[in-house]
Amino acid sequence: MPTQVQVFPTITIPVPYDAIYRRLGFKRGITQVDKRSGEEIESHIDYALSLISLKGAGRRVGLRELTPTAVVLETGDEFRSGNLARFLGGCEEILLMGATAGDAVMEAIRRDTEGEKMTRGVVMDAAASEMADAALDWIAGYYSHQLTRENARLTQGRFSAGYGDFLLENQMIMHDLLELDRIGVGISESCILIPEKSVTAVMGIQR
């Protein structure tokens, strides 16, 4: 079975406006936005979109073993997480995914939030986060097509390092296996993906 990393150099998705607004704390029926503020926020989102360049990577990896506390991959790598092992129960293969909103938007966010345009920076930050997250959905959709033809499918939901007992340190393994350097994503010693608006996730493959 081919287990090469598939790189997606350009991911085109509909803008997840609702998710961006939700991330910024908008509550339908309660939050009130006047016309001037509304137009300003929309223009900030547009500016973010002109700078966001979504890229991604995916890789199918076979499972060697699921223990009560760890997920052992065919590559020999091991994710230490009981929650993840339970989530993947019954799967013989997993899908690893990574996505990034790119450098340019992160640089603009940094300039704005450290400078005189914090409102724009905060809105762009939310837009970039949600776009990167939606890119993972897109990658899952891509693999879902392949799997349908193999009489298989992806698990509902996905797991990301940094939540529960799936510690952020696992991001190192994700970064290596997905060869995220190929889409311009590095990782710091404290396991933070750089550029910041980059995300990874694991899904199970059910047959």
Partner 1 sequence: MKRALTDEIRERIIILDGATGTEFQKKGMPAGACPELWCLDNREIVEGVHAAYRNAGADIILTATFGANRVKLEQYGAKDVAGINRDLARMARRAAGAGVLVGGDIGPTGRFVRPFGDLDFEEAVGIFKEQVRGLLEGGVDLFTIETMIDIQETRAALIAVKEITDAFTSVTMTYEPHGRTLNGTDPVAALITLQSLGADAVGCNCSTGPEEMLALIEAMKPWAKVPLVAKPNAGMPQLIDGATCFTMRAETFVSFATQFAEKGANLLGGCCGTTPDYIRLLKKEIGGARPVPPVRESISAVSSARASVILEGERSLAIVGERINPTGKKDLQAELREGKMSLLRSMAREQEKKGAKLLDVNVGMSEIDQKKTMLDAIGALAVSSDLPLVIDSSDSEVIEAALRLYPGRALINSISGEREKMERLLPAAARYGAMFILLPLAGGNIPETAEERKKIIEEVFAEAKALGFTKADIVIDSLVMAASSNLKAPMETLKTVEWGSTIFKANTLVGLSNVSFGMPERPWLNGAFLAMAVSRGLTMAIANPGVEEVMNSAIAADLLAGKDRDAARYIEHFSRRPAAVQKPAVSGDTPADPIFQAVLEGNRDDMEAILSRALEAGGEARKLVDEHMIPAITEVGVLFDRREYFLPQLIASAEAMKKGIAWLEPWLAGAAPTKKEKGRIIIATVEGDVHDIGKNIVALMLKNQGYTVTDLGKDVPAATIISEAVRLKPAVIALSALMTTTMVKMADVIDLARKQAVDCRFMVGGAVVTKGYAESIGAHYAKDGVEAVRVADELSR
Where along the sequence are the contacts to partner 1 (CB under 8 A)?
1-2, 4, 6-10, 12-14, 21, 24-27, 30-37, 40-41, 44, 46-47, 49-51, 90, 104, 109, 113-114, 116-119, 121-123, 125-126, 138, 141-142, 145-146, 148-153, 162, 167-169, 188-192, 194, 196, 206-207
CB neighbourhood size of 54 (10 A):
23
- Which CB, 71 or 93, lies closer to partner 1? 93
d(CA 160, CA 163): 6
Angle formed by the axes of helices 118-149 and 35-51, nearest 10°? 60
Q: CB of 202: closest distance to partner 1 in angstroms?
A: 17
Q: CB of 35: closest distance to partner 1 in angstroms?
A: 6
- Which CB, 72 or 104, lies closer to partner 1? 104
Cross-strand bridge partners of residue 202: 96, 159
- Which CB, 40 or 78, lies closer to partner 1? 40
- Which CB, 13 or 86, lies closer to partner 1? 13
Angle (CA) 10-160-175 rounded to 5° is 60
Q: CB of 135: closest distance to partner 1 in angstroms?
A: 12
Query: Tell me, what DSSP letter sits at residue 170?
Result: G
Q: CB of 84: closest distance to partner 1 in angstroms?
A: 15
Q: CB of 68: closest distance to partner 1 in angstroms?
A: 20
Nearest CA to 84 out of 147, 158, 144 is that of 158
Does an H or E element contain 145, and which? helix 118-149
**DSSP secondary structure of 27-49:** -TTT----HHHHHHHHHHHHHHH
- Which CB, 75 or 146, lies closer to partner 1? 146
